[in-house]
Structure 1
């Protein structure tokens, strides 16, 4: 039993402890200062015993189940007879997934009193953990090569921000906790296809923000706003029959 407590830690064990500490914080079991202190210990821990000690004085968490399969958008019902013959927006072409590409299981990005970015040509891991404590993290998936259909991004934003840019054809899902913080996801005029790769965001945002925007590769934020306004005007004209 002693060896099981002293053995080398896996990234999954460390992350599971971090997730439980964040859940305890969300249930008011500790304040922000105490959470930051325990997170520092968790990421510096070398043995399981050190991780176990971080939760010994905390109440047991009630287990929660979460669907592990992304929801598929409902198919619109056919228009009733006599209704206006306006076609629903066609789904955006899916970003291709190349399962033959080598992919990391886990990766970690930490921004404490600083800024970190991941952009350009890269292969997102199956699970990416991004920590922003009074700092900023930029994740740009526009030129990324997806080797897996689902990329899990675990966020911890404490008085920090995470900006995420995705291309059309990628679905983004948020299933985390925001306390005195905000999470913004794009309003899509064109829905992703059912087989589109999924970026699943979870974690904790406390006195910080997560902003997800959709842009084409090489497109600036200003050009994206112009394109969206132009597309919406064209759809309104089509719907009105002008």
Structure 2
């Protein structure tokens, strides 16, 4: 009598792998793992063939806080946030037609790293960040005009890390650091 054959484990979906990579990058940005450890774990996640191998790459990371994502959306018109407002860990901004203005200079950052995902078809966006913020726009896709951002000449340490991703259709993103 032959033993019953076990079904092979289901393949890893790309969404699962992308989620693992994002969690590792967040853990690094928040200071939970070192740069070398992030590189090592990213390698594990990218070559993982089973869910068990993928889970091992995420071992000892803090649990995800699902309640820190917010979405601001408008079909047309203006999206505006300024003054003292609480910035979530993940902020998604969606607008088909209209202008977006986010002033983060007086905002309350609950997390040392913030991801802002822009989904703008037409219209422009202007984001004012704190003087000591570190801004990354490397993963932002622009169709018509490039984003305008000039990092400060003498950056101050200790500020929030702001990563801006997403896609901009026909409009421009302008980022500036607050003067005071």
Normalising by structure 2, we get a TM-score of: 0.61
Counterpart CA distance in 2 for 1:192 and 1:110 is 32
- Are 1:170 and 2:115 counterparts? no
Counterpart CA distance in 2 for 1:105 and 1:114 is 26
Offset, 1:134: 1.8
Normalising by structure 1, we get a TM-score of: 0.47
Q: Contact (CA 8 Å) 1:163, 1:212: kept in 2 or not?
A: yes
Matches within 5 A, 1:38-53: none
What's 1:224 paired with?
Answer: none
Q: Contact (CA 8 Å) 1:109, 1:130: kept in 2 or not?
A: yes
Please point out which of 191, 208, 211 is paired with 2:155: 191
Query: Which runs of structure 1 show a deviation greater than 3 angstroms over 4 or more consecutive aligned residues?
Result: 60-70
What's 1:209 paired with?
Answer: 172
Counterpart CA distance in 2 for 1:192 and 1:162 is 25
Between the two proteins, the alignment pairs up a number of residues equal to 126
Offset, 1:171: 0.9
Q: Contact (CA 8 Å) 1:111, 1:136: kept in 2 or not?
A: no
Secondary structure, aligned partner of 1:143: coil
Q: Contact (CA 8 Å) 2:134, 2:159: kept in 1 or not?
A: yes
Structure 1 residue runs of 5 or longer lacking an equivalent are 1-59, 71-103, 218-242
Task: From the CA coordinates, give the structure whose radius of gyration is larger.
Answer: 1
Please point out which of 149, 173, 181 is paired with 2:145: 181
